[in-house]
């Protein structure tokens, strides 16, 4: 993927995080607000990454959108049935997995941007 795509995904992450933090109720504690905003921002980042991978493979926006939606709904249904069948796979577990995966992907993209900046100068 190009540098512009990675920067756009980072802007999406930051935008979702800030917008959720601005609209979240202050009834919850600050820690819960930050975790909720981080979770939604990571979900947005992961879906943007997944769509980018599918678009790079298909090179056609219409096919990529259809394949992305099919893969997304299929994956959600499989994870939901897995969560119901295994008792220790709770919502909290999936939240941690999504946040960790999102942070790893963000770190990988930031490292790519830093390294490509050093190479291009």
pLDDT tens profile 28-51 = 678 888 898 999 999 999 999 999
Determine the Cα–Cα distance for residues 111 and 121; give it in Å rounded to an integer: 16
pLDDT at 33 (0 to 100) = 87
pTM: 0.89
Across the range 82-105, mean pLDDT stands at 93
The alpha carbon of 95 is separated from its chain's Cα centroid by a whole number of angstroms, namely 12
Determine the Cα–Cα distance for residues 96 and 115; give it in Å rounded to an integer: 28
Scan for tokens 């992907």, then name that residue. Answer: 105
Across the range 100-113, mean pLDDT stands at 95
pLDDT at 23 (0 to 100) = 85
pLDDT at 2 (0 to 100) = 83
Determine the Cα–Cα distance for residues 97 and 13; give it in Å rounded to an integer: 17
Q: What total number of domains does the chain contain?
A: 1
Domain of 78, in residue numbers: 3-120
pLDDT at 17 (0 to 100) = 95
């Amino acid at each position: 993927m190009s540098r512009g795509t990675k920067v756009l995904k980072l802007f999406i992450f930051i935008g979702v995080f800030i917008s959720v933090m601005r609209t979240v109720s202050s009834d919850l504690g600050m820690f819960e607000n930050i975790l909720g905003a981080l979770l939604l921002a990571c979900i947005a980042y992961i879906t943007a990454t997944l769509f980018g991978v599918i678009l790079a493979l298909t090179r056609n926006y219409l096919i990529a959108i259809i394949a992305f939606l099919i893969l997304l709904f299929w994956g959600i249904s499989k994870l939901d049935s897995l969560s119901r069948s295994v008792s220790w796979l709770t919502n909290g577990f999936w939240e941690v997995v999504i946040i960790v995966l999102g942070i790893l992907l963000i770190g990988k993209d930031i490292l790519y941007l830093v390294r490509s900046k050093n190479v291009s100068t």
